[in-house]
Amino acid sequence: MNDQALVLSDISKTYNAGRPNEVQVLRGASVTLDRGEVVALVAPSGAGKSTLLHIAGLLDTPDSGRVSIDGADMTRLGDRARTAARRRQVGFIYQFHHLLPEFSALENIVLPQLANAVPKARAQAHAEDLLARVGIAARADHRPAALSGGEQQRVAFCRALANAPSLLLADEPTGNLDPATSDQVFATLMALVRDTGLSALIATHNLDLARRMDRVVHLQDGRISA
């Protein structure tokens, strides 16, 4: 297996290209994640970090440049192949949990596994194990509205890991929490990442959290620097 979990090479992205209000968000941004490495992506608001994460996670396509995951070039894949690769290899965490409100915590973690053709019994057992790892096994039957903000985000972490991805992408995963809860939830996330051997690119404004990762990179003026 390739030693590099993610390679973004010379990624450029412009919105409304050719129009008076065009915005060039990325201007040849490049970053590499080694397998098992956790990298903090620090950027001012509006710098394009969400765009970069969406491109890295195959939710968007660059105007130019190359995206490689686990040594495979994803840039020229068609929509169906991109969707399949994303389901197998990438996990996403957002600032807001985006849990399905009509389903329990357990069901929110089971559903993405069923979409990947995992048998229901195995999916439920795996979901229960993940909830136990983040310390909220007793809340498995609760719907999101009955969970605290920290608990909801822990469920979102479990959902992102449900299909055992090799790459985790997180966009301000604790940005919607108060400082004390943010610190606790981030510690839970880091423990999960280390325990599973994931590679992770985590966008954050919090420099204290960023310094707890393996490496910090900065996105500014459309480019990445160490």
Instruction: List, edge to edge, every strand of the sheet that includes 215-220.
Output: 90-93, 167-171, 199-203, 38-42, 215-220, 223-225
- The CA distance from 16 to 38, in Å, is 33
- For residue 66, the cross-strand partners are 9
Identify residue 218 by its one-letter amino acid code: H
- The CA distance from 47 to 143, in Å, is 35
Instruction: Specify the CATH number for 4-225; select among 2.160.10.10, 3.40.50.300, 3.30.450.70, 3.30.365.10.
Output: 3.40.50.300
Please, what is the average pLDDT of the chain? 90
Residue 6: predicted pLDDT: 94
Mean pLDDT, residues 138-143 taken together = 95
Mean pLDDT, residues 140-168 taken together = 92
Residue 1: predicted pLDDT: 55
Residue 95: predicted pLDDT: 78
Residue 141's SS3 state is: coil
In angstroms, the Cα distances linking 114 to 78, 108, 118, 164 are: 23, 11, 5, 13
Q: Is residue 93 within 8 Å of residue 37, measured between CB atoms?
A: no
* Token pair 């999101």: residue: 144
pLDDT digits (tens, 9 = 90+) for 65-95: 999 999 899 988 888 898 888 888 999 988 7
Question: What is the torsion angle, in degrees rounded to the nearest 10, for the CA atoms of residue 180, residue 181, residue 185 and residue 190?
Answer: -10
Identify residue 173 by its one-letter amino acid code: P
pLDDT digits (tens, 9 = 90+) for 158-176: 999 999 999 999 998 887 7
- The CA distance from 156 to 147, in Å, is 12
| pLDDT confidence bin for 182, thresholds 50/70/90 | confident
- For residue 68, the cross-strand partners are 7, 73
